[in-house]
Amino acid sequence: MEFTKGHGTGNDFVILPDPDGQLDLTPELVAALCDRRRGIGADGVLRVVRAAKHPDGAAQAGEAEWFMDYWNADGSFAEMCGNGARVFVRYLLDTGLVTPAGAALPVATRAGVVRALVEGDAVSVEMRRPQVYDDSTATLGGLTLAGTVVDVGNPHLVCVLPAGVELSALDLTVAPGFDPTVFPTGVNVEFIVAGDSVDGTDEHTVMRVYERGSAETLSCGTGACAVGAVALRDLGRDTGVVAVDVPGGRVTVTVTETSCWLSGPAVLVATGELNPAAFRP
């Protein structure tokens, strides 16, 4: 089986081409592929399958030819992956599965159809506008941190660090605690501090994230969108542009009246063949 490895600001994925949906992809196989010692190593898997050939994509097949079948490193599904969508589009273009056109490219996901534009190294994806809800809390290393609940298709809790708590000092080798009545299917938790405004953006934040199903990652695109929406709300604004620095680089979030654009680099680093014997159950 062929695979490609790619990443968006260090959020890395194993990409599996399966145009006709014939691959028996199981949680166990996904976890084995993502294992950083015994497998290829990644934060998640992107199966590239025709929307019409996957039960979760079929309803969107009129609008999008390809479905991003995203899985977390532990073998669980997620509704959406912002960086994954950007890397997915890079793969579709570089392998010639789609031909570049001026118009935004539609991609089906479990959270609906997203649209992508490519400009040089950068891939931008238009997703749903983040919905900012009530407050909740996360616990970490004896701290209880106030956070804001945000839905970007997948669930997020954005915690602004109080004065005196250093972002770099957080121990994210341990999963943060959260309220399971608010997040019955788990949550991605972002920890942020405000930075000085950069490059003409309205706001700039620095973020670390503990992802549901993948632990700490170097970047989370939907997490950055959630952070952007909260940062703008805290400025008293509904729309605007926020630069979000993650451990793996910088992404830019543009919240409009109706949607949210996530922009940043998306890179394919290698293609190879799996040894099937190593991944047999």
CA-nearest of 132, 126, 163 to 145 is 163
Interacting residue with ligand LBFN2T5F among 68, 212, 265, 266 (CB under 6 A): 212
Catalytic residue of the set 81, 159, 225, 260: 81
* Closest separation in Å from C-beta 215 to ligand LBFN2T5F: 9
Tokens found for residue 157 = 């809790």
CA-nearest of 213, 207, 149, 139 to 177 is 139
Interacting residue with ligand LBFN2T5F among 65, 211, 216, 245 (CB under 6 A): 211
User: Which of the residues 54 through 93 are near ligand LBFN2T5F (CB under 6 A)?
Assistant: 72, 78, 81-84
Give first-to-last CA distance, the chain, whole Å: 15
Tokens found for residue 229 = 């929406």
Interacting residue with ligand LBFN2T5F among 188, 205, 254, 263 (CB under 6 A): 188
Catalytic residue of the set 34, 159, 220, 225: 220
Tokens found for residue 267 = 């890179």
- Is 260 a known active-site residue? no
Closest CB to ligand LBFN2T5F among residues 41, 165:
41
Rounded Cα distance between 149 and 216, Å, is 19
- Is 225 a known active-site residue? no
* Closest separation in Å from C-beta 219 to ligand LBFN2T5F: 7
Rounded Cα distance between 25 and 15, Å, is 12
User: Which of the residues 4 through 63 are near ligand LBFN2T5F (CB under 6 A)?
Assistant: 11
Nearby residues of 250 by Cβ (< 8 Å), 6 or more positions away: 9, 243, 244, 264
Contact call for residues 219 and 83 (beta carbons, < 8 A):
yes
| Residue 25 phi, psi dihedral angles, 5° rounding | -85, 120
Binding-site members are 11, 72, 82-83, 154, 188, 211-212, 221-222
* β-pairing verdict for 112-119 and 105-109: antiparallel
C-alpha distances out from residue 102 to 107, 117, 281, Å:
15, 8, 44
* Closest separation in Å from C-beta 123 to ligand LBFN2T5F: 12
Interacting residue with ligand LBFN2T5F among 154, 201, 205, 252 (CB under 6 A): 154
* Closest separation in Å from C-beta 108 to ligand LBFN2T5F: 16
Q: Is the dihedral of CA 13, 15, 16, 18 positive or negative?
A: positive
Closest CB to ligand LBFN2T5F among residues 16, 78:
78
* Closest separation in Å from C-beta 149 to ligand LBFN2T5F: 14
Closest CB to ligand LBFN2T5F among residues 52, 248:
248
Tokens found for residue 1 = 């089986």
Residue environment code for 143-153, b if the CB has 16+ CB neighbours within 10 A, otherwise e:
eebebbbbbbb
Closest CB to ligand LBFN2T5F among residues 9, 201:
9
**Interface with ligand LBFN2T5F by CB under 6 A: which residues?**
11, 72, 78, 81-84, 154, 188, 211-214, 217, 220-222
Catalytic annotation, residues: 81, 220
